[in-house]
Structure 1
Amino acid sequence: MTAAPDPQGWVPDVLGEEFFQLTLPLRADDEGEVVATLVRALPERTAWQRLFGDRRTLADTDVLYVHGWSDYFFQKRLARFWTGRGARFFALDLRKYGRSLRPGQTPGYISDLAEYDEDIAAALAAMTDGQGAAPRRLVLLGHSTGGLTLSLWAARNPGVASAVILNSPWLEFQLPRFTRETIAPLVGLQAKRRPLDRAPQVDLGFYTRAQNEVADPEDPMDVDLAWRPAQTMAVHAGWLNAILAGHASIAAGIDIGVPVCVLLSAHSAYPTSWSEDLTRADSVLVVDDIARAALKIGHSITIEWIEGALHDVFLSRHEAREEAYARLGHWVDGWAAADSAARAAASREAGAPGVD
């Protein structure tokens, strides 16, 4: 028997099994139709949990993941980390990335990171549609450029997220701050005159090679190279100007206003030629600079250094990958317990029934 269509429009995702996707229409631009795509994985619940309530730590929590540059969501285990704790997991393929890329569009292009507010608003609306009256906690989880995007969004939208988790967030350029401030006006001028001009391709494919070298057979991944090419997508002047503006905002200081966990490799490597060192380090960002920049985004910042990790700590070799998940688990458990206790205390002070 064929299943009835989902009234919201959710359809099976390319990841199969428990994953579904929803297309989110956005305002069109000069390249035509624009959409974002939300991917969903829901926690499995026993008959007992359905009848008497789910008492797991994150049963009242939604997670929204945003990918990095030249990327999309494909990490099944990351979703299951959250659903196994009772959370509902959602991942957003932003406009012109991955599932959201349409023919004739410039992959990944945007001229202002604040334009992603529309994508995120559409995702949050879809996440809350039909959830009922009970409020749910929101955890934002961003990788690399997604970490920059979500950090800026959270600061512009205080009180929406309950926690923010950043996996090697791109909070500062891979050059000294003085150099960034020097080149920014030149990039800005080029972005006004010829925003689609391309910068020379400097990615030699070593980061992708490092991921393949350390692939974990216990956590297999099937990556679509049309959505996540071995060498990064073309860098355009308008996009680079948007990134540099975001970095300048971070350098000036923002306030996310909620606890933040930042996961980083313990080391950086500089990929001028292939070396085994690239399989044990972040070959994309300068991690010490990112750690310093992270101190500018809020007042409760935890930095977790993962020995032997890659730029995406959850794609590292087995030992570093397990360490990353363990560190994330410890932080999430501590945050959830402290947050629940604070909510219960606030409820008691307000004279409302306490939260168990």
Structure 2
Amino acid sequence: KQSPGYIDDLAQYDDEIGAALALIKLDHPGTLPAIIAHSTGGLVAALWAENHPGQIGGLVLNAPWLALQGNEWLRGFATTVAAPIWRSAPERKLILPKFDFFYRSISANEHGEWVLHPLWRPRYSFDIQGGWLAAILAGHTRVRQGLHIDVPVLTLTSTKSHFSTKYSTKMQHADSVLDVQATAHRAVQLGNRVMVHKIPNALHDVYASPEPIRNKAFDATFAWLDYFNDL
């Protein structure tokens, strides 16, 4: 039996990332590709880069999930008290409120511009299970302790977050999923060459923001990549 999105160790993604890079290097021998990753994928990519030095030329993180939302007390409680309980029953589903705010901000059926696959990107997120969240928290702990990624890292975020239990038009101009300040704070702990670029009015998926905003993000990304390619 499989559960969508479930994994209890983020390192299980390593083989898939390695296989993809191997195919890219076959088509582009002698070059080091860059990885671009979003949200939870940004956390996975950062940990992968830490564990596999010398394999890529750069890392671009689009609103990476590097820290649990909430205050320090909540993050500490989740890591030290709740995570061991979740590991003891990893397939237990957590009863948490579900919101469709991010879906509404990007879906062409609502206020966004994108046609979303109903199975791959449903209105509500997949069920959260204890083992998955424990794996996420373990990744957050590694980031908090400091990584030593050996390549330049670009982190893109919105300039602000907006959280609420009700939908608001403010969510069309902010990150409604992650705390952008916590993201920026953690990003500088990824390595010695980290740039945080905040894009005004960007959504949680910076590249899925309205066209004028995402174009600024693309311009910033390509300029950053060109700079390091020329060094």
- TM > 0.5: yes
Q: Which runs of 5+ in 2 are unaligned?
A: none
Judge conservation of contact 2:87–2:134 (CA < 8 Å) in 1.
Answer: no
Could you tell me which of 184, 188, 200 is aligned with 1:295? 188
- 2:38 aligned with 1:143, yes or no? yes
SS at match of 1:147: helix
1:85-164 to structure 2, matched below 5 A, reads 105-129=2-26, 131=27, 134-164=29-59
CA distance in 2, matches of 1:203, 1:331: 36
- 2:216 aligned with 1:319, yes or no? no
Equivalent residue number for residue 350 of structure 1: none
Judge conservation of contact 2:104–2:112 (CA < 8 Å) in 1.
Answer: no
- 2:171 aligned with 1:278, yes or no? yes
User: Match of 2:87, as an amino acid?
Assistant: K
Gap change, CA 1:125 and 1:318, over 3 Å in 2:
closer
CA distance in 1, matches of 2:68, 2:112: 28
Judge conservation of contact 2:98–2:125 (CA < 8 Å) in 1.
Answer: yes
SS at match of 1:170: coil
Judge conservation of contact 1:271–1:278 (CA < 8 Å) in 2.
Answer: no
Equivalent residue number for residue 158 of structure 2: 265
User: Match of 2:51, as an amino acid?
Assistant: R
SS at match of 1:283: coil
- 2:81 aligned with 1:192, yes or no? no
SS at match of 1:137: coil
Deviations 1:198-238 (A, max 9, x none): 1124232011111135534xxxx432111111110000000
Larger radius of gyration: 1
Judge conservation of contact 1:214–1:316 (CA < 8 Å) in 2.
Answer: no
Q: Which has the higher contact order (CA 8 A, sep 6+)?
A: 2
Q: Which runs of 5+ in 1 are unaligned?
A: 1-30, 32-104, 339-356
CA distance in 1, matches of 2:205, 2:134: 24
CA distance in 1, matches of 2:87, 2:208: 37
- 2:67 aligned with 1:172, yes or no? yes
CA distance in 2, matches of 1:316, 1:192: 36
Equivalent residue number for residue 124 of structure 2: 231
Equivalent residue number for residue 304 of structure 1: 197
Judge conservation of contact 1:306–1:320 (CA < 8 Å) in 2.
Answer: yes
Percent identity, aligned pairs only? 34
SS at match of 1:304: strand
Length-normalised TM-score, structure 2: 0.93
The CA deviation at 1:149 is 0.3
Length-normalised TM-score, structure 1: 0.62
Equivalent residue number for residue 229 of structure 2: 336
CA distance in 1, matches of 2:56, 2:184: 22
CA distance in 1, matches of 2:66, 2:87: 23
Deviations 1:284-331 (A, max 9, x none): 000000000001100111111100100001111222112111211221
CA distance in 2, matches of 1:146, 1:277: 25
CA distance in 2, matches of 1:245, 1:117: 16
CA distance in 2, matches of 1:265, 1:206: 16
Gap change, CA 1:128 and 1:319, over 3 Å in 2:
closer
Judge conservation of contact 2:92–2:129 (CA < 8 Å) in 1.
Answer: yes
Judge conservation of contact 1:206–1:271 (CA < 8 Å) in 2.
Answer: no
The CA deviation at 1:273 is 0.8
Deviations 1:176-195 (A, max 9, x none): 23321212233333333311
Judge conservation of contact 1:214–1:318 (CA < 8 Å) in 2.
Answer: no
Aligned residues: 229
- Give the RMSD, CA atoms, in angstroms: 1.6
The CA deviation at 1:168 is 0.1
SS at match of 2:227: helix
The CA deviation at 1:249 is 0.3
CA distance in 1, matches of 2:52, 2:58: 13
SS at match of 1:192: helix
CA distance in 1, matches of 2:38, 2:79: 23
Deviations 1:248-287 (A, max 9, x none): 0000000111111111001100031111100000000000
Judge conservation of contact 1:267–1:308 (CA < 8 Å) in 2.
Answer: yes
User: Match of 2:10, as an amino acid?
Assistant: L
